[in-house]
Structure 1
């Protein structure tokens, strides 16, 4: 290799520190579009908020956020917070020409954005966090400082073992899927889950991590699965997810898992020897949140299954058509985000009514009382996340879903444009619907299960994974990294410390904690 070629290669492999700074011209354009928004008319005959949500995001929920965006919201202040709290970088990841390309097709390079927060703790484990859709890297902002935090060394062998299980620290890498956040979009229309996994595998290798664990939920979990299937357990040592949705066991896809599910249903999972990891509440509900869903007529579809996954399919069916509106309307993107997040926190006592992330204090108090009456426990987050020794995560609030939080998430969709994310989502649906996607993966899986409107019985996943660790929690939480980061961080630490080959044995508690 010539000196010039070597210099070029070094430039390509370079990891460059990055700070968020959106052009003032683009921010001015955003405000102009907000001021020109024409809101739709609503039916005045709908008597309740529940009936309004059955048609989509109510105007009463969105309009105050629009006012906040125009009059109060300060993106520059949010940029400063993210830049001070999350160490960000970008690097070029080279990908080979797509299969079926012409002989003259060249490899492409994707400029990939990522957060890389290293822990000062001894024995820290590399952890790849993969965000979902419609999220971005900021969804892990409250979790990262908790995972990187180091603790003082305990005295005594037993005390050290317990501390390692409870205070395992991590070097956290949280990249933006190409086309999301500040990662460039791929030009390949077939770029999907497996391609994102390849980019992230190359990124971890470039950072010097030959072995690591992976965390993710929703579409992030699907990317983690693609990584685990491709890299195997020699590289990916474990995967962790929360509130997962698995397919109902079928005879043709796993006889053992199907038989165990049928036995658990017949016995009500009342006897440990015949429960196979299921709990009574799962079998009593009969797996109502099957990934494939059931045919439901009329407005009952809003009550019968979570709208988040349904909206994913609707929004990704014709991405280019939808992009013409969403790329031109920040309020349209806000409405999409509210509709996906609006189901979060729904409890059985509330029936079909989705819980908006933006409620006035009286509504919040009323809904919290209804939750407690139904036996649910509210998650009480700390006011702030304590910064770790290197300052990661300082100033990031953990109060769930303030107006500014909602607008931050919306901005992370608005800034790159919605089109690449929608194309990726469409391809992700196609890939994960293929028969080959149900192949068994040998990488150990840990699961944290909160009370969720979308989760399926956990052991349905045994047809595709070796489930080695489960924690079932009482709290009603749809998005733990944002709404209950401390609880989730504790589970991640304990799970990866207890994986086979770790400091403890695999664990599958059936009790609620």
Structure 2
């Protein structure tokens, strides 16, 4: 259409207008076209789509049950007895001397973890902690979706509350947010800005924990984003904030691209950008010696290059799980679903090296530096009692397809206000200049002083302050 209009305009100019007007007219038409293109980019969105992930065909006789049902986690004696029996029968292999965590989870330390799990860990006590926040389930696209919904308990008259959807990743769970929720819902009692309080909704990704798993192939981040959008609508929220890391980052990004008019702001503590971009390669080549030429800061250089130059092998070392889960998740899933010791080793190893890669040098993987063993085992128990480890890993199989770099979300930028919290021990670092290629409206970009991949679990106060700072800037615009 625009090409036709330009051709007609050029013909009219040549026939009837003085040639001295050609330049300003051309500039005006070019400017109009540029504005139209930019406007089109800002309003572009991903199609919402539709799906059915329950067993069999989607029923046509009646509509979906839209009730939001209270849910309580239970600690059954049968689950505890079965767990203890399996832990008692754990077969340990010969440990290597001085292997620390370079070969994976140190088998000598694993014995200590299993002993604590069997003899000291109190699942019933932890279930009471899990149930301290209100839990619910609702059925969307044939799946029972589990979530916690926490409202502020102390508000001043007329104080505004901001709804925020927070999405976890793998191998985490909704439990990752238990330490940050009180900081967000009751900030005044935790030395945070009392005027920025949140109503927090934390769902379990379908196939994780207490959310139902898809019965069909193809359930991916796009389907999860759509389901979570429907969840927010069902709860009465038509505009809201989003926060995510790991898979939660991709899911919330996609949701913001599907329905930008509903997302007031998107806050991330993990940014994954499409690979194979020439501009980024040029930035890497020049940035080591002249970072200012390519928009990198000194902090970007400090975070990017030591990893690249000294730990190239680390990319392979830390992504073995991804290759397995993106190809044959059910094979390893069979083993982990049957052995609690194997499940703990597989999951907790990630909480070691993803928190800080230097923890590979520790005999205990540095696990106790940032987490309590009770917290770590509670996250493992959520996978164990629900038998959800295999279905959670299938998310990689469905997410990493042959055309991963050409999926709809890679073709549409993120136009909503974005805030990025860059933690220094995160596995990948995305400088602001790179992030701008995808996020067109970055409101805040913060270099945090400490913390790694599981930000809400490790450094809840740092993350809460950054979320508050981001929302404050968005609300003032």
In 2: Cα distance, 1:432 partner to 1:481 partner:
31
Deviations 1:11-68 (A, max 9, x none): 811111111004321221111111111112223xx4x2xx442221111221111001
Instruction: Report whether the alignment pairs 1:237 with 2:264.
Output: yes
Q: CA deviation at 1:473?
A: 1.9
Structure 1 or 2, whichever has the larger Rg, is 2
Q: CA deviation at 1:286?
A: 4.7
Aligned positions of 1:273-422 closer than 5 A: 276=295, 278-283=296-301, 286=304, 304-305=314-315, 307-346=317-356, 350=358, 353=361, 356=364, 400-417=370-387, 418-422=389-393
Deviations 1:294-348 (A, max 9, x none): 9x9xxx76x633855442333342111112111111111101112211214436x
In 2: Cα distance, 1:434 partner to 1:314 partner:
19
Deviations 1:361-395 (A, max 9, x none): xxx6xxxxxxxxxxxxxxxxxxxxxxxxxxxxxxx
Tell me if structure 1 keeps the 8 A contact 2:353–2:359. Answer: no
For residue 203 of structure 1, the aligned residue among 231, 243, 248 is 231
Q: CA deviation at 1:475?
A: 1.9
The structure that is helix-richer by fraction is 2
In 2: Cα distance, 1:116 partner to 1:23 partner:
24
When residues 359 and 286 of structure 1 are mapped into structure 2, their CA distance, relative to the original with a 3 A threshold, is: closer
Tell me if structure 2 keeps the 8 A contact 1:137–1:176. Answer: yes
When residues 55 and 203 of structure 1 are mapped into structure 2, their CA distance, relative to the original with a 3 A threshold, is: same
For residue 114 of structure 1, the aligned residue among 147, 153, 159 is 147
SS in 1 for 2:201: strand
Tell me what 1:157 maps to.
none
Tell me what 1:455 maps to.
428
Q: Structure 1: which 5+ residue stretches go unaligned?
A: 96-108, 153-162, 365-399, 505-513
Deviations 1:259-284 (A, max 9, x none): 77766555333xxxx563x3113235
Aligned positions of 1:410-449 closer than 5 A: 410-417=380-387, 418-430=389-401, 433-436=404-407, 437-439=409-411, 440-449=413-422
Q: CA deviation at 1:197?
A: 0.8
Tell me if structure 2 keeps the 8 A contact 1:123–1:169. Answer: yes
Tell me what 2:214 maps to.
186
For residue 20 of structure 1, the aligned residue among 73, 80, 90 is 73
CA RMSD between the two structures: 3.0
Instruction: Report whether the alignment pairs 1:53 with 2:53.
Output: no
Deviations 1:119-177 (A, max 9, x none): 2542111100001011111001111111111549xxxxxxxxxx97x741111110011
SS in 2 for 1:244: coil
Tell me if structure 2 keeps the 8 A contact 1:357–1:402. Answer: no
For residue 146 of structure 1, the aligned residue among 158, 173, 183 is 183
When residues 315 and 339 of structure 1 are mapped into structure 2, their CA distance, relative to the original with a 3 A threshold, is: farther
Q: CA deviation at 1:419?
A: 1.6
Instruction: Report whether the alignment pairs 1:42 with 2:95.
Output: yes
Q: CA deviation at 1:258?
A: 6.8
Tell me what 1:92 maps to.
139
Q: CA deviation at 1:455?
A: 2.7
Tell me if structure 2 keeps the 8 A contact 1:287–1:457. Answer: no
Deviations 1:468-507 (A, max 9, x none): 21111222444221111111101001101112xx225xxx
In 1: Cα distance, 2:166 partner to 2:362 partner:
28
SS in 2 for 1:442: coil
In 2: Cα distance, 1:140 partner to 1:468 partner:
23
In 2: Cα distance, 1:176 partner to 1:359 partner:
24
Tell me what 1:373 maps to.
none
Tell me if structure 2 keeps the 8 A contact 1:247–1:461. Answer: no
Deviations 1:413-457 (A, max 9, x none): 112221211112221222882413422221222111121151313
In 2: Cα distance, 1:352 partner to 1:29 partner:
32
In 2: Cα distance, 1:141 partner to 1:445 partner:
24
When residues 203 and 453 of structure 1 are mapped into structure 2, their CA distance, relative to the original with a 3 A threshold, is: closer
SS in 2 for 1:178: coil
Q: Structure 2: which 5+ residue stretches go unaligned?
A: 1-58
User: In the comparison of the two structures, how many residue pairs are matched?
Assistant: 407
SS in 1 for 2:447: strand
When residues 129 and 284 of structure 1 are mapped into structure 2, their CA distance, relative to the original with a 3 A threshold, is: closer
Instruction: Report whether the alignment pairs 1:177 with 2:242.
Output: no
Tell me if structure 1 keeps the 8 A contact 2:207–2:213. Answer: yes
Q: CA deviation at 1:406?
A: 1.5
In 1: Cα distance, 2:213 partner to 2:168 partner:
16
When residues 496 and 258 of structure 1 are mapped into structure 2, their CA distance, relative to the original with a 3 A threshold, is: farther
Q: CA deviation at 1:244?
A: 3.0
* TM-score between both structures, scaled by the size of structure 1: 0.72
Tell me if structure 2 keeps the 8 A contact 1:88–1:113. Answer: yes
SS in 2 for 1:56: coil
In 2: Cα distance, 1:56 partner to 1:24 partner:
32
When residues 453 and 471 of structure 1 are mapped into structure 2, their CA distance, relative to the original with a 3 A threshold, is: closer
